[in-house]
Chains A and B, each alone.
Chain A
Amino acid sequence: MNDEQNLRDRFEEISVPPTRLEVDALVEVGRRRAFRRRSWQAAGGVALATGLLVAVPTLVIGDPAPPPPVVAAPTTPAKPTPPKACKAATLRMPAGVTGASANGVDPSGRYVIGHYFKGQDFQPLLWTDGKPGKLPLEAPSMQLTSVNVNGVVAGLAEGPNLQYAFRYENGRYTRLRTPPGLGWVYPYPAMNAAGDIVINAKPEGESSGENTVGLLYKAGTSAPIKLPLPANSYVYDITDDGTIVGALKKDGVNKTAYAWDRNGRGRELKSVPGTTSIVYSAEGDWATGGLWPKNGDATPARWNLRTGELTQLKTGEGPGLAVNSDGWVLTTNELIRDGANVALPTPANQEIRTQGVSGSGLVVGHTVTVGKNAITGPRTWQC
């Protein structure tokens, strides 16, 4: 048998885990995407962060609305002064670099991590007080995923037959070791102010994740500590007081937002009946993530880790991916402050991808051309 036919046969024989996708849900996702595109066009290409998405349907569907009744203006107490608008800026790039993205910011707003791209490989960048710098490469792809107030960076290195988490501190990389038989780390390392790092690890080649273990690397060390968490725990972030947030798989596949202390004492965070919940990020008293209805897109959620209060942020789209110490929540393209979307000024014909928010109110991310996803540059919004 020749190699080509042999490969064809082997591809057919590979046992692939079943898809979770359902046709009806896919159609619904397509409808929503088509609707968003029409709405964007109807809004003249203005960024949707101001809530235009919600307003458009009444303008374009159905009979013209009757004029509003004329009523006397109610007397209302004086409104509080609205917060200042966000000020957009472009991050400088090192000489010769184009198409870079900003992917995170430390709580003080001093350090920003990001990348430019070589093919599909992440080439690491670190901005300090707005000044850009290229970090050295130890693998073809060095993806930076977290930075703390001391400028210590955590990330994920990848290359052919190579994948590991690392810490970058004082100008050098430290490879974070994994326990025997748990060689695949995912999804990304997260770090707190002290420099403690958490990530999940599973046996290489296992796609189900059923043997996942949460790992902790204490500041300055490369030896893994297996977190004493129950089976089916997934860790996503660690706060400065050592609280670890993530999700616990229950009933086979559904996940519930969870928080643990380092001794493994866990508590289920509030959720909404009928939804799956995950916490992705936490800072201070606040945590954010998403609530997934069955067969639907996520809505962002915010938890107060001290009181346990859950706020479902219905204004946003997709889960919350970052939160700051004041409880501001970022989704992939929105900032939600005090329960309302905050306008992030965006150049014409571009869309934003928000990635991080500091305690000082600095939002970082990048912009892409509409419909093409070509990165047009790293940006910040001081809010």
Chain B
Amino acid sequence: MRADEEREFVEFVRGRLPRLHRTAYLLCSDAHRADDIVQTTLAALYVSWRKASAADNLDGYVHRILVRRYLDERRRGWSRVLLGDHPAPSASPGADHGIGERDALITALRALPKGQRAVVVLRYFGDLTVEQTAEALGCSVGNVKSQCARGLAALRGVLVTPAESMREQS
């Protein structure tokens, strides 16, 4: 890679790394595996940077690699190879939700089938359109829509806020 191309790559990674890591974490619910997935994604991106950086939708391209790495990751056993199963530092509670509620959403996400989880995360965290999500996952637009609807229905139980819950009970 030429020096100017590498500078562009570094700039891109600096801007996207936290978000990509968060996406991977939402997909796999595990900080170590999220790091593995992001690292293999960005290594693949580095190799194909010239082609990728010319793409119309670079973020969609990167998400496509990331999702495939996520889906392939268990088969390959790479988690031991890249980071040595290091535990990440402990998480701190979110600003508005405690650990219990955070874990409830993560646990609910983990209960979704992998493909459905990917659809939900790309659509509602990655902010990809239905079409971009379909492209990233290599499936039809209709499939994304139906998986979104099922995923939302499955997650509805943990999305209800305490206030809404009280209203529903009263």
Contact = CB atoms under 8 A, between A and B. Distances in A.
Bound pair (A, B)? yes
Interface of A: 3-4, 6-8, 10-21, 23, 26-27, 29-31, 33-34, 37, 101, 117, 119-120, 122, 160-161, 187, 204-205, 207-210, 212, 234, 249, 252-253, 255, 276, 278, 280, 290, 292, 297-298, 318-319, 321, 332, 353, 355, 373, 375
B94 A207 contact: no
Nearest to A161: B111
B18 interface: yes
Interface in B122-139: 124-125, 127
Given A3-B156, A117-B75, A321-B77, A27 B86 contact: no
- Nearest first, the 5 A-B pairs at minimum CB distance are A30-B46, A209-B87, A205-B103, A17-B31, A17-B88
Nearest to B152: A3
B124 A4 contact: yes
A contact patch SS = mixed
A8 B32 CA distance: 24
Contact of A208 (B72, B91, B161): B91
B contact patch SS = helix
Given A20-B88, A161-B111, A298 B81 contact: yes
Nearest to A20: B35
Nearest to A332: B81
B142 interface: no
B80 A373 contact: no
Interface of B: 1, 6, 9-10, 13-14, 17-18, 21-22, 25-26, 29-32, 34-35, 38-39, 42-47, 71-72, 74-97, 99, 102-103, 105-107, 110-115, 120-121, 124-125, 127, 152, 155-156, 159, 161
Given A23-B14, A249-B87, A319-B84, 19 more contacts: A3-B152, A3-B155, A15-B92, A16-B22, A16-B91, A17-B31, A19-B21, A19-B35, A20-B88, A21-B21, A26-B39, A33-B46, A160-B112, A160-B113, A207-B32, A207-B88, A207-B91, A253-B89, A353-B76
